[in-house]
Homo-oligomer: A and B are copies of this chain.
């Protein structure tokens, strides 16, 4: 097999987050389901935004956050996603490159503006998201470099992309190119509501194309419409080569063939903002894996990075996390 140019190529929505602290009453008053991600129109998002307090803006996007985490951990990451050439698109492009991630997708000259996600952070650190997909909706196979896919050890796909028909086509093209080149394909299920929207599609895609699956407990239970992690683990072992199932404070469970490895969560003093916890876990897991470490170490590194991210505002590590892996033994 030829040399790889990247450890992981992420494909996902290119989004700028608008982060606002809020009370749970505000969620109730506006009919929002705490902890969920919902898609909205620009108008709906603006109407909600006008009711919120002072915000800060910070680059986001699930797979983009994961790639930033992978780069921060010293691995080679690339990202493909679609922004418009507008102020927030330039913010996204700056930040993903500043994180050390290769980003070659050209910005759209016209069409919808760069995607924004209004992230409402509750006092307990949980986040409720309203996403306007904007330019992301038009992500298509043409936005993808199949050479880049073939040159990446793992191609990591964000489940949220499934909400766009053309992005889904890019998914299939990427998965085929990766496997043709003898590489691995990874998928994150992203969100239980997303799974609910696309259950059959996800199951079929996983069966045929996915090697490494990431899902939190709500997502995997939604995928199998069952109510125990044991039942879900029994199903998922035949679906993909490796499944990393995250369970918040209960750590994570790695299912790989007949093996099940439970890894406890890393200690957390105070949860500030859970935005990006799952993204960070995937970053740690894939960074360790592509550096030749075993599943247990990968799950530990995922847990460490997730613990770090939920104790700060925002979804990407600021700097100085490379030491995390060196402290772990296989």
A-to-B contact residues, CB < 8 Å: 18, 21, 49-50, 52-59, 68, 86-88, 91, 94-95, 98-99, 113-114, 314, 316, 318-319
Contacts and interface: CB of A to CB of B under 8 A. Distances in A.
A87 B113 contact: yes
A99 B54 contact: yes
B94 A55 contact: yes
A220 to B, nearest CB: 31
A57 B58 contact: yes
Nearest to A17: B56
Contacts of A53: 98-99, 319
A55 B57 CA distance: 9
A-B residue pairs, 7 tightest by C-beta: A57-B57, A87-B87, A56-B58, A54-B98, A54-B95, A53-B98, A87-B88
Q: How many copies does the complex hold?
A: 2
A23 to B, nearest CB: 10
Contact of A54 (B55, B56, B59, B86): B59
A55 B21 contact: no
A103 to B, nearest CB: 13
A56 B57 contact: yes
B314 A91 contact: no
Contacts of A86: 86-87
A68 B54 contact: yes
Given A56-B58, A57-B56, A57-B58, A50 B94 contact: yes
A322 B328 CA distance: 47
A8 to B, nearest CB: 18
Nearest to A317: B54
Contacts of A98: 52-55
12 contacts: A18-B91, A49-B94, A53-B98, A53-B99, A53-B319, A54-B98, A55-B98, A56-B314, A57-B57, A57-B91, A86-B87, A87-B114
Contacts of A316: 54
A57 B88 CA distance: 10
